[in-house]
Structure 1
């Protein structure tokens, strides 16, 4: 029994340097343009038997623009960043440099008062491992880039610190094939 899950990183809602933790903004103009350019490669994923998205506006909009009509999955939400929610990394680093260093160095820490990185990766892995594993089952999920990174780290059984070494571009795809705790990985960058 195996399943194929393709995760699509949501299109942009802000320029890279203006990205904020737990950003609830919808797609920006550049994000809509990126979806139009990548649609030819991603629209075929709408044939998936199950179509999900994280509960963010940009994930929902990306999925809708690609014709997925996805169902929001609370388990696919971005990492809870506590009091850092709505701030950029530069803003937080200027105010709390030691806390940022701790957060980046220790995956069990949550100096922001939210969810530790290790708990986030485990939550995303739990979602992967509970997908229906009917032979030949196909699932697509649009989520924040951090969710896609967490899924990759979980599937590879990589150390949590490797999360910081993975760059997931908007509209990139990660395809996981297998069953709970036994995943094969294919990562593609959007065209």
Structure 2
């Protein structure tokens, strides 16, 4: 049985320069407006048999605006960034430049004391591979980092490819297939 899983990146909650690790802020005014404008594009996701979201506030708010009424999934949380949680990359790089270099170059490293990139990608992949076999669409509103990890996993790409995947707010992909055998379709 082939599954169809539509993954949609949440609307934004801050400017790009203020993006923080494991940020749980609500949608900002621009993000809320963008989500409302996206309703006609993503209205079909409300018909998905199963609807999920990352547990962050902005994912829940994006899903609610789209009419999804999702179930929050802990497996779809962002990468555990340990002591870097709540800080920007610039802030961390100013105090721990070598640790940032290690984190960006070694997918098995977790210099922040949290989860390695490889562990994160495998966690998200495990969630994909364990979805119930339904004949209709599964939808999930996720953090951009989760969508990146799912893309790397689905394509069986090396973990460092994660840094080359750009996911913008309210962009989406659909994965079709079954455990360990996914095809990726770019939606919007």
In the superposition, the TM-score normalised over structure 1's length comes to 0.97
Which 5+ residue runs of structure 2 have no aligned equivalent? none
| Cross-structure match for 1:183 | 182
Superposed CA RMSD in Å reads 0.7
Matches within 5 A, 1:16-27: 16-27=16-27
Q: 2:67 and 2:106 mapped to 1: Cα distance?
A: 39
Which 5+ residue runs of structure 1 have no aligned equivalent? none
Range that drifts further, 31-40 or 106-115: 31-40
Q: CA deviation at 1:137?
A: 2.7
1:28 pairs with 2:33 = no
Q: 1:128 and 1:156 mapped to 2: Cα distance?
A: 13
State the number of aligned residues.
188
| Cross-structure match for 2:165 | 166
Q: 1:54 and 1:169 mapped to 2: Cα distance?
A: 16
| Cross-structure match for 1:108 | 108
SS at match of 1:184: strand
Q: 2:34 and 2:125 mapped to 1: Cα distance?
A: 28
Q: CA deviation at 1:62?
A: 0.3
Q: 1:138 and 1:4 mapped to 2: Cα distance?
A: 5
SS at match of 2:32: helix
| Cross-structure match for 1:59 | 59
Q: 2:6 and 2:119 mapped to 1: Cα distance?
A: 22
Matches within 5 A, 1:29-44: 29-44=29-44
Contact 1:2 1:137 in 2 (8 A): no
Q: 2:44 and 2:133 mapped to 1: Cα distance?
A: 21
SS at match of 1:133: coil
| Cross-structure match for 1:138 | 137
Q: 1:2 and 1:113 mapped to 2: Cα distance?
A: 37
Q: CA deviation at 1:2?
A: 0.9
Q: 1:3 and 1:121 mapped to 2: Cα distance?
A: 19
SS at match of 1:102: helix
| Cross-structure match for 1:74 | 74
Contact 1:50 1:138 in 2 (8 A): yes
Contact 1:48 1:140 in 2 (8 A): yes
Deviation string for 1:3-33 (max 9, x for gaps)?
1000000000100110000001010001001
| Cross-structure match for 2:122 | 122
Q: 1:90 and 1:153 mapped to 2: Cα distance?
A: 25
